[in-house]
Amino acid sequence: MPGAPVKKVLALSGGVGGAKLALGLDRVLPEGALTVVANTADDFEHLGLYIAPDLDTVMYTLAGINDQERGWGLAGESWQCLDALGKLGAEQWFQLGDRDLATHIHRTAKLRAGASLSDATGQLCSALGVKARLLPMSDDPVRTLVRCGEGELPFQHYFVREQCRPEVRGFRFEGQAEASPQADFMALLADPALALIVICPSNPFVSVDPILGLPGVREALHSCPAPLYAVSPIVGDRALKGPAAKMMAELGLPVSAASVAAHYRGLVSTFVLDESDATLAGSIEEPAMRLITAPTVMKTLADREQLARVLLADAGVATA
Ligand code: FO1
């Protein structure tokens, strides 16, 4: 007798923080249940290669080959090409490892031959043994520009070259208004089998907003009957990873999960706070948002699976 149809889960993710929860979900869900949509507004061209940092971080993490310490790139990497580039006087501020380069070379060749970013991603994922479906948020170019005192900086120049030092005044997502959200992503939002959408604990400003602001995405999320959860990337007054807390302070927002909840007002139905922020719950006045607490700090693989299980149990989605 055929079993019950698999309930589907969609995770919206940036890089390192989002990839951790995506891995937890992947490990506890039945095969075929998980789709991860990754931000591509951090993508850029460097040394003639198309680099998609968030897609790669999620892909390497789901394939179990990511560098756990750095969060990005491959484990056991070597840097001979980067050293040789340095000797030639080429730019070295963006570190491309020898084996990681194979991904960028292969993807760039596919794109130049006419493949879409979705096709190139699907092909890389199947070659690396990734079981979940990983999609770029769009096949069209969207690029984050960080507004700071010095003018606008392309995202990787702000993040990696300038080490997030410039004071942030705002963001602009070039190409967003003209971009189409990835077709399978939109189809999933209309799929009756979709049982849960999770905004991973990624940076709300530069990882999640590029996805949510694509034409038609907010409307599709509103009409989708599946509950929309968001996990706070801020615990106490610190970001789990990256510059989210620094950005909040520079934008004049209180650095707390309450600001993240306010950011997602009108969209998210369940907001997930870390257990250590349980006392904040009383001060978050978001009448349309249900608040729950969970252990959101994911240091180990067991932590990732545990958070995934808590979210799925809360949403009534069966695990494998
Ligand atoms: N992040 C860094 O902080 N320094 C790097 O040199 C760097 C290189 C890099 C190469 C390939 C890749 O896929 C990602 C890389 N990242 C690097 C990570 C990445 O730029 C950021 O973590 C994201 O854009 C923010 O989500």
156 Cα to the center of ligand 1, angstroms: 8
Instruction: Give the count of domains, the chain.
Output: 1
The reported pLDDT for the residue numbered 284 is 86
244 Cα to the center of ligand 1, angstroms: 16
The reported pLDDT for the residue numbered 298 is 96
**Residue 3 located in a structural domain:** no
The reported pLDDT for the residue numbered 81 is 98
What domain range is 266 assigned to? 8-315
> Could you report the average pLDDT of every consecutive run of 10 residues in the chain (320 residues)?
80 97 98 97 98 98 96 97 96 96 98 98 98 98 94 97 97 98 98 98 98 98 97 92 94 95 96 94 86 96 98 95
**Residue 75 located in a structural domain:** yes
The reported pLDDT for the residue numbered 42 is 98
Q: What are phi and psi of 198, to 5 degrees?
A: -125, 125
The reported pLDDT for the residue numbered 288 is 87
**Residue 2 located in a structural domain:** no
Q: Residue 303 belongs to a domain with what CATH number?
A: 3.40.50.10680
User: CA nearest 21: which of 317, 310, 236?
Assistant: 310
Ligand 1 near 100 CB (within 6 A)? yes
**Residue 320 located in a structural domain:** no
Spatial separation of the C-alpha atoms in residues 8 and 193, rounded to whole Å: 6
For 115-181, give the secondary structure using H, E and C: CCHHHHHHHHHHHHCCCCEEEECECCCCEEEEEECCEEEEHHHHHHHCCCCCCEEEEEEECCCCCCE
**Residue 185 located in a structural domain:** yes
**Residue 246 located in a structural domain:** yes
- The number of the ligand 1 atom at minimal distance from the alpha carbon of 15 is 26
**Residue 1 located in a structural domain:** no
Ligand 1 near 18 CB (within 6 A)? no
